[in-house]
Structure 1
């Protein structure tokens, strides 16, 4: 088992945790249980089936059914090349796989078994599995779990020659991509929401911003796109995100956002620079060391930052590097090349426009890299697993809502890439006091609305949600509230003052209630 397979199995198996307190045993009917607890088991049997196919060098069958059991049950079993049941010699291995308590133990069992059986996983791409299921409602999601196992172990996904489906957001990008695809060979692109002849409203229920924020399929995408590589532009084609439709039973997607686009570009360019450096060393001419760096915004997921650090890349200003890769999580970004580096490369030039937000050239670069590396979108998506995050809009901080509805958003001034609040004393201190595992939170004034945006991330979805709520309700000293209210009151019209006084009356009631029940604003 190579390191790529080990890493991807660790990552993907963590998405299919085994049920707590349940021990399963492989019998003549395979594994059977309530369908709600079988996803982990089916995923692991998918791994077993792929290994069995490698061992026998034959086609293996995998059937998802519970035969005559009630509809809420389901099961999974393996058929050997003869059409008969799985060899009894392999049943203990099936049991240990199904009951492995965590991803680390699972990968250890697989590595140990293939070594003892002298099975090489290098040829895993050539295995063939026949997959079938009955008509139970749970069958579809269980089939997806089995497919996920095949893809991770047998070459990380479907053939990279499959088509790319692009959501054009009914904007200029879809229209121009229609022209561009006629010039391409070796890449099949299907464009939906192209906005031809004014059809459809740009960015309404579709487009990169909608997909990135809502994490659901855009208009005209659905069950027909399960496991297919999909991308979404926005109306003016300056943003790009990719996504996977994991199941036809839900409109949820697996988002491959700007952070992962940046990671893909960084990994590829770093490897190419390493190859170039070795070639130069052989020729005895290595008088120039290229500096590669990345730039992310505060909204970049912490897991992506950790991944890029592992690649040895630092984040400063894109213009300070020979090659600087800049990307926002929302899919807005570019790659910059220094004039010095371009002169050094002489005849070598880039096909990527360095204008920030050239989504068409960026989608072509993504496709070229995936094709060159032989990677599927599934493998790309497994670079790292995003930390759960939460974005909120707060029109006030603390219990007195008039603090932020009377004041404009410019009362909050930030520094350090907009991650530290330096005005209105007490706010940043209150945020810093909230501690969660791998927790990170900041506030910043929104540029388009009179509200404050709160970003929070932590090790679990529950923690990120709690962190966001706590920080969007950050409490500050009462003395500061009244000082700010008096200052703002003096600059209001007579009518506005009456409205403010009425709101103060209401908020004082809230304040008194808070003091009685929660210990006041300084609790």
Structure 2
């Protein structure tokens, strides 16, 4: 069957391309002020419908801007595997989103169909959204894009981003994949992993960012009952102006302070924070005037220790274990992980798609960005080895092997998941017999500072070596190297943001004063060499 161009044009005319809008596919899809997105989201619907036809499997779309302010929105695109959109299709996503008119859009669709020999026919795209007021109109735009090329939009409703990724993955594996199945799977795996461990008495206080994760955690709590005691804060889902406002994982991790809506007493307990679409997670505890932050680096270190303990107990130490980080990982965390026996540490560019691909190359790959986005991947060949171990050997070997199988089920194999991560951390603390203090004491973070710098054109800043080196503009890296060498344990890098129109700066040093000064010098260099606007955001 050929593409019905008339139907495509009839749909597209409702979502005209604004000449002043130039969408750019970032590290996780498109993101912008919500009022500028209908055309982009419509065209993403077209793209994911064609992707579903090409692969012969369901694809997915999540309408969300994650940790961004409420007035923003965005679209994340999901492969049949449950992973983010294949990099080979990202460039075409950009071209479709920027097609100047309806005829150009139709021509690009024909090009894509011809290039991939796509047969137009039945296909399904699963569509979910977070709690933003703008989601209703954008879900409709996605649905119109999907239907105008002959595919079916399956409305999944209000979900966390990781839920939709998980559901797409399970659907294409012909496994139970409803919302209820997601919570049942997590709860059952958590109980299996922690079987025999003492149920903690301490209540876990969770900052839900007033996002969709609040609803999801309430449902998870109902499944687990007394196995996991949660007290939820910032649960005003759908209340105007509340989403991610001075709360959530991104706020806590970047600002190094507890959510503004929680008292010091409330922040002094066993606390966790997730972001607006529940794909990021950090832990924290207020200790006097200081916030002890346990970010993605600390989560990766804790889970690496858990995996090593279980592998040793199962007699399976001859296993490739890798921890994948980005340049944002604190240098102290990298040093700690490099000292663990039989553990490989790898650095990739920012973006879960890069970390996920690298982690898949290990028998067990752990990846977490410092912002708390990550998971544990356990490969199919290793799972087959586990199944043999769980059926043979002594009782202790079998128990450890079953726990590793439970960990593989508990960890979201498609994408980083704050709910899955919360359960993995709690299980690790129980099995390793640690509290937040002893966990935090695994290593001491080097003081660091992050800044966002506005420049006239962020694309002039180009990087290499997993974004740790600036290759343009000329002179920038030389200036950064000189600044870093002037302070003890100095390290600094800059990179154009994949989600905002800014250049990001990260600096660390032996003292907070030096880290602050290093970040400030990097901002000055950007203003001078990259056409800075003079504004810092």
Query: TM-score range with shorter-chain normalisation?
Result: 0.5 to 0.7
1:293–1:371 CA distance, 2 compared to 1 (3 A): same
Whether the 8 Å contact between 1:326 and 1:333 is mirrored in structure 2 is: yes
- Consecutive unaligned residues of structure 2, counting only runs of 5 or more, are 1-198, 347-357, 391-401
1:253 alignment partner, SS class: strand
Structure 2 CA distance for aligned equivalents of residues 200 and 160 of structure 1: 35
Is contact 2:490-2:509 (8 Å) kept? Answer: yes
Q: Kindly indicate whether residue 334 of structure 2 is the aligned counterpart of residue 275 of structure 1.
A: no
Contact 1:160 1:370 in 2 (8 A): no
Q: Is the 8 A contact 1:161 1:186 kept in 2?
A: no
Q: TM-score, normalised by structure 1?
A: 0.54
Which one of the candidate residues 444, 455, 475 is aligned to 1:385? 444
RMSD: 2.7
Tell me the residue number matched to 2:384: 343
Q: Deviations over 1:436-483 (max 9, x none)?
A: 21111111112234332221101111111121222222389x9xx7xx
TM-aligned CA distance change 1:409 to 1:226, over 3 Å: closer
1:299 pairs, out of 328, 343, 347, with 328
Question: With CA pairs under 8 Å and 6+ residues apart, which has the higher RCO, 1 or 2?
Answer: 2
- Kept after mapping to 2: 8 A contact 1:334/1:358: yes
Correspondences of 1:415-454 after superposition (within 5 Å): 415-434=464-483, 435=485, 436-454=487-505
Q: 1:232 — aligned with what? A: 273
Aligned length: 303
Which residue of structure 1 lines up, in the alignment, with residue 46 of structure 2? Answer: none
Query: Any unmatched runs of 5+ in structure 1?
Result: 1-158, 281-287, 396-403, 486-499, 507-523
Q: What are the equivalent positions in structure 2 for 1:88-103 lying under 5 Å apart? A: none
CA change 1:226–1:419 in 2 (3 A) is: closer
3-state DSSP of counterpart to 1:438: coil
Query: Which SS does the other structure have where 1:182 is aligned?
Result: helix
Q: 1:199 to 1:374 in 2, by over 3 A?
A: farther
Structure 2 counterpart SS, 1:263: helix
SS at match of 2:300: helix
**Secondary structure of the equivalent of 2:449?**
strand
- Matching residue within 133, 148, 168 for 2:208: 168
**Aligned equivalent of 2:515, options 464, 477, 482:** 464
Aligned-partner Cα distance in 2 for 1:197–1:474 = 41
Q: Please give the alpha-carbon distance, in whole angstroms, between the structure 1 residues aligned to 2:443 and 2:383.
A: 32
CA contact 1:302–1:386 (8 Å) conserved in 2: yes
Q: SS of 2:521's equivalent?
A: helix
Q: Does residue 222 in structure 1 map to residue 263 in structure 2?
A: yes
Aligned 8 A contact 1:444 1:453 in 2: yes
CA contact (8 A) 1:237 1:357 kept: no
In the TM superposition, what is the alpha-carbon distance from 1:213 to its structure 2 partner? 1.1
Deviation digits for residues 81-133 of structure 1, max 9, x if unmatched?
xxxxxxxxxxxxxxxxxxxxxxxxxxxxxxxxxxxxxxxxxxxxxxxxxxxxx
Report which of the two structures shows the higher radius of gyration computed on alpha carbons. Answer: 1
Normalised by the length of structure 2, the TM-score is: 0.53
Match of 1:181 in 2: 221
Q: Structure 1, residues 40-63: CA drift from partner, whole Å, max 9, x if none?
A: xxxxxxxxxxxxxxxxxxxxxxxx
Please give the alpha-carbon distance, in whole angstroms, between the structure 2 residues aligned to 1:440 and 1:204.
31
For residue 314 of structure 1, give the secondary structure of its aligned residue in structure 2. Answer: strand
Q: Which residue of 2 aligns with 1:325?
A: 366
Structure with greater strand percent: 2
How far, CA to CA, are the matches of 1:253 and 1:337 in structure 2? 33
